Chain A
Amino acid sequence: MIEFHSVTKRFPDGTLAVDDFSLVLPSHKTTVLVGTSGSGKTTLLRMINRMVDPTSGSIEIDGADIGTLEPVKLRRGIGYVMQNSGLLPHRRVIDNVATVPMLRGMAKKKARDEALALLDTVGLDRLLANRYPSQLSGGQQQRVGVARGLAVNPNILLMDEPFGAVDPIVRAELQQELLRLQRELGKTVVFVTHDIDEAFLLGDQVVILRTGGKVAQVGSPAEILANPIDEFVATFVGADRGKRSLHLENHGDGDIVVDETGRLAGVLVGSGPSASPSTVSSESKAGPRGPGASAQGGDSR
């Protein structure tokens, strides 16, 4: 469990990145921090492994104030995955994955063996082990990044817009992989993104941030969709533009799900033509947690 207690961060240039932020991030769940640029989401994430220290307030991991822990040691116990993978370009894939265990003193041979097994875990061919990162595609690099993040078997995995720089198809693939991994491993994941659809897909708990690191709303994707607390949140999740209000239209070939802007969101499957509430909620887009996944295929970015 990670707890933020009245955390404020003011940078030396005077920017207030985070203002009196308090939150509990439950263990073995995925918490997504979502907001626009300047909302302090990355700063919040980096406070958890002390890349950034708060100006005031405290952060606790399982009850221990991390301000009292040695930063380098703390970081070696927390998985970190970033945009553009952040891999070391001069080390082979396998050595990149083995890096942190070796920093912690594990023998090279053992670290490499475990790294190979981790490539399997993240769905990478072992044949790629001896390549350099620049010889991989963006999606493969990102998988290596995840493998590296998992290498010390950390309880906590920090992910800073990890899928931001890959194309939409690969991103969707990586998101599904992460959901699968999370079902298997049950880490405490803290995920930063500016993409609300990604947040709703991956998050057990979603935190919507306003500029200056203020919390706009915290809740499950369903709670936020059903009850946006104010205008800002409604705009952010797209409810104000009718993106989240879906209804059925009959186009002869079958029922098509359409949102209020007239954009085709997908087709209705699994329940046949007799499924007749004329308005379905877009909540079902929230992935496996949604009720029976009825509307499919809408990429509403």
Chain B
Amino acid sequence: MTWIWSNLDLIWDRTFDHLILSVPSIILSFLIALPFGWLAHRYRASRAVILTTVGVLYAIPSLPLFIVLPFIVGTSIRSPLNLIIALTLYGVALMVRVVADGLGSVDRDVQQSATAVGFSGWTSFWQVELPLAGPVLLAGLRVVAVSTVSLATVGAVIGAQSLGSLFTDGFQRGIQAEIIAGILATVLLALALDAVLVLIGRLLMPWTRRSAIGVVARPGAVARQEVTT
């Protein structure tokens, strides 16, 4: 415990480093996954190709990727940018499928009625489909956030500073408190980011909180499938 109290500054610095690595990765993976997820959702032919590719992407082990990536993109191996790119790739790999599924989850009746009253394709995407896919997107983004925070620790092995550095340093110097501090801080950071996402979700999607009862009670939600004359 005394180690933690006397090294709060260090823990705080590493937490900040960790944020610098994970937050941009989470945001970038969401933005990059959007168009690919949309393509996979929209065009049947592209779906299999895109989803298989991102599946393979996620299967690449992280440590080798951290080491190989600098040779491909030309960054230094310890550069935060290297890590951000790698973390973004993993985030995209998770998120593309979520975007495709999220857009697919939007009620077809609602889409049809949006078209019928005069939404054009793009307006409908931004004002109807994307917001209605919101709850699914948020669920996916929460997984991405937690997984990115945890993956970012691996960077410590190749020398990129993060909360993971507290484990590696603690192991090398035999300071148990430092290891525990690293683990705790990582978990807390993941929880904090998750809480922020939930909060953003509440602010952006106020209708999801109020409709819990109504959605279940809505009649015809099941029956409407076959009513196409």
Contacts and interface: CB of A to CB of B under 8 A. Distances in A.
A135 B117 contact: no
Contacts of A84: 109, 218-221, 224
A83 interface: yes
A132 B131 CA distance: 14
Nearest to A39: B229
B207 A165 contact: no
A164 B229 contact: no
B205 to A, nearest CB: 7
A89 B220 contact: no
Interface stretch (B86-94, B118-126, B152-160, B194-202): B118-126
Contact of B116 (A77, A82, A88, A131): A82
Contact of B117 (A99, A131, A132, A138): A99
Interface residues of A, number: 44
Contacts of B218: 84, 134, 138
Contacts of A35: 229
Q: In this complex, which of B110, B117, B213 has the most chain A Cβ atoms within 10 angstroms of its Cβ?
A: B117
A90 B132 contact: yes
Given A84-B218, A90-B132, A135-B214, A38 B229 contact: yes
B118 A86 contact: no
A134 B210 contact: yes
Interface residues of B, number: 33
B120 to A, nearest CB: 5
Contacts of A117: none
Contact of A132 (B109, B114, B207, B229): B207
B115 A134 contact: no
A284 B114 CA distance: 39
Given A89-B132, A165-B220, A132 B211 contact: yes
A88 B228 contact: no
B224 A86 contact: no
Nearest to B214: A134
A84 B213 CA distance: 17
A42 B229 contact: yes
Interface in A36-95: 37-43, 46, 49, 51, 72-73, 75-77, 80, 82-84, 86-91
Contacts of A37: 227, 229
Question: Quick one: which of B109, B114, B228, B229 has the most chain A CB within 10 A?
Answer: B229
B120 A72 contact: yes
B205 A76 contact: no
Contact of A88 (B110, B123, B214, B229): B110
Contact of B227 (A46, A73, A75, A83): A83
Contacts of B172: none
B215 interface: yes
Contact of B215 (A80, A91, A131, A134): A134
Nearest to A100: B117
B112 interface: yes
A83 B224 contact: yes
A127 interface: no
Of the candidates A73, A75, A148, A158, the one having the most CB atoms from chain B within 10 angstroms of its own CB is A75
A133 B214 CA distance: 8
A103 interface: yes
Contacts of A259: none
Nearest to B123: A103
B113 interface: yes
A161 interface: yes
Given A82-B109, A88-B110, 17 more contacts: A43-B229, A46-B116, A72-B120, A75-B118, A76-B117, A83-B224, A84-B109, A84-B219, A86-B109, A87-B113, A90-B207, A132-B214, A135-B211, A138-B219, A161-B227, A165-B223, A192-B229
Interface of B: 107, 109-110, 112-120, 123, 128, 131-132, 134, 205, 207, 210-211, 213-215, 218-221, 223-224, 227-229
9 contacts: A84-B220, A84-B224, A86-B109, A86-B114, A90-B207, A99-B117, A100-B117, A135-B210, A165-B220
